[in-house]
């Protein structure tokens, strides 16, 4: 049954090619069921063959199906981003060493600051003067730069910050990656 379901969903990729990407993932069966349910709801078909026939012959329904798939793509990407950011912040904040807790605090503050700046800009832009928008944009850029620094040091950019304890103090050394 699952191979038939995945084959059906691959057939629907003729109408929305982005579907192929979902069917090549670890959750192929689940994604295939979501795609099939979406196609059936758009076409109101009783069978797989009828679904293909309706999508092939009626351009308006095929366009509607593509639009629904794009809405689903947006929703899935938002959920993935939320999960990624949630896991990243948990990883940084839960780090037990001093450098990790400092980096975690820096990330948390930078994320909150950047979110606040972007929120103010998006919600209040019309009521703010040009100078204020420029200042808030500059501050948002600084917060973004802080996040970039943490990402590059955490995931191995050109410069990696390595903590090496010596006696009672900790010293931070910058090593050049090859």
pLDDT category of residue 166 using cuts at 50, 70 and 90: very low
N-terminal to C-terminal alpha carbon distance within the chain: 50
- Evaluate if residue 162 carries a pLDDT over 60: no
Asked if 117 contacts 143 with a C-beta cutoff of 8 angstroms, the reply is: yes
Secondary structure element (H or E) that encloses residue 86, with its range: helix 59-93
Burial of 89 (0-12, 13-18, 19+ CB in 10 A): middle
- How many angstroms separate the CA atoms of 157 and 40, rounded? 47
- How many angstroms separate the CA atoms of 65 and 71, rounded? 10
For residues 134-150, give the mean pLDDT.
86
Give the range among 5-14, 134-143, 168-177 with minimum mean pLDDT. Answer: 168-177
Domain spans of the chain?
A: 2-79, 96-176
More confident residue, 170 or 11: 11
- How many angstroms separate the CA atoms of 104 and 110, rounded? 10
Asked if 110 contacts 147 with a C-beta cutoff of 8 angstroms, the reply is: yes
> What is the separation of C-alpha 134 from the centre of its chain, rounded to a whole number of angstroms?
28
Backbone phi, psi, residue 82, to 5°? -60, -45
Q: Is the pTM of this model over 0.85?
A: no
Task: Output the six-digit token pair for 176.
Answer: 């050049």
Q: How many CA atoms within 13 Å lie on the side-chain side of 30?
A: 4
- Evaluate if residue 143 carries a pLDDT over 50: yes
Torsion of CA 56, 60, 62, 66, to 10 degrees: 170
């Amino acid at each position: 049954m699952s191979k038939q379901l995945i084959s059906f969903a691959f057939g629907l990729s003729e109408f929305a090619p982005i579907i192929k990407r979902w069917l090549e993932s670890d959750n192929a069966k689940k994604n295939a069921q979501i795609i099939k349910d979406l196609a059936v709801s758009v076409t109101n078909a009783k069978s797989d063959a009828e679904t293909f026939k309706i999508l092939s012959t009626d351009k308006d329904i095929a366009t509607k199906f593509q639009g629904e798939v794009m809405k689903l793509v947006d929703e899935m990407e938002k959920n993935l981003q939320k999960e990624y950011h949630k896991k990243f912040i948990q990883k940084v904040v839960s780090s037990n060493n001093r450098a990790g807790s400092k980096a975690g605090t820096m990330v948390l503050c930078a994320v909150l600051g950047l979110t606040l700046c972007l929120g103010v800009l998006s919600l209040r832009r019309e009521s703010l003067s040009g100078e204020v928008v420029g200042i808030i944009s500059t501050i948002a850029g600084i917060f973004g730069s802080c996040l970039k620094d943490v990402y590059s040091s955490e995931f191995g950019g050109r410069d990696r910050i390595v903590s090496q304890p010596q006696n009672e103090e900790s010293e931070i050394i910058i090593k050049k990656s090859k």
